[in-house]
Structure 1
């Protein structure tokens, strides 16, 4: 599969997963077990039409747009500010959903706080708000050395989420995405990530946080029973759940539906899971009936093509 297919597939896959989850965000796993989501619907939780995506996709697209011109943390920050206060890269020109940590950080960015100091660093600021938007970095970083892959990932997380745990979750996710871009199967991408991450994060200052990732790094997350997988907005829960869904399914459709039907923070879980699945299965593996419902889909495909050319050349 060519890289252009994977780049556009990653962005669209993230967005479709997000849009699937928006209408059922905060619904319980039990209610979705009784009445599972099987297709792209609208309204319900946020009263938005089918195909509407949330802050997850918006901020990922802001990052992707910025990366078309290379890495510039201040430019990324400016686009985040423009999103929150002007509706930039939203489906309809207005923001309808934003996490508290992300809102706090972007307000700091607006007030001139430097990008690397904006994200709150306290223990309770470990939501999934940087993980949900980090995927486009995998394309930019694929051919960089390992040190730069981790360092840049951590920096981009820090724009909204400054705690080491959130940074490390992004680091793990990006390593898997990079392995998928190199043509690895999901299982191989996961195993190779474990080797890389174990080595890098075993050193300080990361070693003190390593315990939170043991179910991912020191065992096989896919072998856990469904009841052991949580789907809250906590960054560890989202990372674990997305990997569990991705490793336990064999199509894009089944992967994202499994994710969203876990309940809870469904839009972000759909986006984080859908981004990996989109890279692996590519554009051609995404259901046309869902692609056609996505708001501003041509803009998203155009963005993916632009990012591909900027990073990989024509």
Structure 2
């Protein structure tokens, strides 16, 4: 596949994720009924209501921690070279949180990341700090690994995912979740459609579940397959209820990550529709939207994303996103040797 096509898919992953994140920003933490009461059916950027617990004061179309941390991880990946620099990553997260606090944001580090960084600051080694991190923070920001790493060989791919998870989410369930999302992105960047991306995700989740500290929770690969089967062929309203009631939309990896794959199924791989569906789910809408629309965007490419909505995103520097995407693609091409990625 030509390098410019790979770059278009890489940009599709990053900017698709931003669209899903920004659309879900005003609805995060709310119930579906409360979303409908406040905003009606969300199908465009809206400003959060005045007393929103984490999004108050933000403009319509503003990205959140999901996109900011994904771009931050991408930059650390590029700067780290062959071996991921855990110390640089942890310091970057701390610097990021100080910056967003200074901006007056209420959307700060997630529970697993915060707990791990506190442990590292107290002298716990990075390999041990993330041993209880099982929420969706690793999965929400993992797209750059999927852009940088070709999907095969699978063991090397999942090992890179696990390496980036180690300091904050070094558990079987978090690594499986992040591996699933990264593999879907990587398959899309390689030229695969959303169905191929879903298949790659399940295989990567199975491998990821064998790494890290084991924690209890539903098997991610099995739950992705189940969640997609659950909503296949359903009209959107019914699918939203099934995802909300049965799959779950909380910050637990075993809820939000299968929910994102269910959204991908209902949307038929359409990034904007994935963002819209996610925004109306309730719960962790911005993260589910970022994951689902990011995976879909990797499979369609930036050029097929809705440019009129991209133009209204707030808090994102598109020139920096393009530069990061180019650096990640350059690293990917170097790994594949010829720049030819298999789409199968």
Pairwise TM-score range, normalised by the shorter structure: 0.7 to 0.9
Q: State the shift of 1:196 in Å.
A: 5.6
How many aligned residue pairs are there?
308
Match of 1:155 in 2: 163
Larger mean Cα displacement after TM superposition, 77-86 or 102-111? 102-111
Which residue is equivalent to 1:60? Answer: 70
Q: What is the Cα deviation at residue 100 of structure 1?
A: 2.2
Q: Which residue of 1 aligns with 2:134?
A: 126
1:97 positional shift: 0.8
Q: How many angstroms apart in 1 are the aligned matches of 2:227 and 2:20?
A: 27
| Aligned: 1:292 with 2:297 | no
Unmatched 5+ stretches in structure 2: 340-344
Given the two structures, how large is their TM-score scaled by the length of structure 1? Answer: 0.85
- Determine the C-alpha separation between the residues in 1 that align with 2:212 and 2:324: 38
Q: CA deviation at 1:117?
A: 2.5
Match of 2:127 in 1: 116
In the alignment, what sits opposite 2:116? Answer: 105
Is the partner of 1:2 in helix, strand or coil?
helix
Distance in 2 between the 1:112 and 1:145 partners? Answer: 35
C-alpha separation in 2, matches of 1:239 and 1:33:
23
**Is 1:302 aligned to 2:323, yes or no?**
yes
Q: In structure 2, how many angstroms separate the alpha carbons of the residues matched to 1:219 and 1:192? A: 16
Greater Cα shift, 145-154 or 262-271: 145-154
CA contact (8 A) 2:111 2:135 kept: no
Contact 2:13 2:301 in 1 (8 A): yes
In structure 2, what is the equivalent of residue 165 of structure 1?
173
How far is 1:95 from its partner? 4.6
Q: Which moved more, 1:111-120 or 1:36-45?
A: 111-120
Superposition RMSD in Å: 3.0
Q: Distance in 2 between matches of 1:26 and 1:209?
A: 22
Q: Determine whether 1:241 maps to 2:236.
A: no
Bigger shift: residues 28-37 or 265-274: 28-37
CA–CA separation in structure 1 for the residues paired with 2:242 and 2:191: 30
Give the conservation status (yes or no) of the 8 Å contact 1:105–1:118. Answer: yes
Whether the aligned pair in 2 keeps the contact of 1:59 and 1:133 (CA below 8 Å) is yes
Instruction: Give the drift of 1:52.
Output: 1.7
* Residue equivalent to 1:73: 85
The more displaced of 75-84 and 198-207 is 198-207
Change (3 A) 1:144 1:226: same
State the distance in 2 between where 1:212 and 1:20 align. 26
- Structure 1 residue 143: Cα displacement: 5.7
Query: Displacement of 1:207 after TM fit?
Result: 11
The unaligned stretches of length 5 or more in structure 1 are: none
- 2:41 is paired with a residue whose SS is coil
Alignment correspondent of 1:37: 42
Aligned to 2:15: 12
Equivalent pair of 1:10/1:277 in contact (CA under 8 Å): yes
The alpha-carbon deviation at position 115 of structure 1 amounts to: 2.9
Of 136, 139, 158, the match for 2:144: 136
Instruction: Give runs of aligned pairs for residues 86-97 of structure 1, distance below 5 A.
Output: 86-87=99-100, 93=103, 95-97=105-107
Query: Counterpart in 2 of 1:25?
Result: 28
1:191 CA displacement: 2.7
- The offset of 1:162, in angstroms, is 2.4
Deviation at 1:32, TM superposition (A): 3.4
Q: Give the alignment of 1:153-302 within 5 angstroms.
A: 153-195=161-203, 197-198=205-206, 201=209, 211=219, 213-217=221-225, 220-221=228-229, 222-223=231-232, 225-229=239-243, 230-250=248-268, 251-294=270-313, 295-298=315-318, 299-302=320-323
Please identify, of 251-260 and 153-162, the stretch whose mean Cα deviation from structure 2 is larger.
153-162
Structure 1 Cα separation of the partners of residues 215 and 296 of structure 2: 29
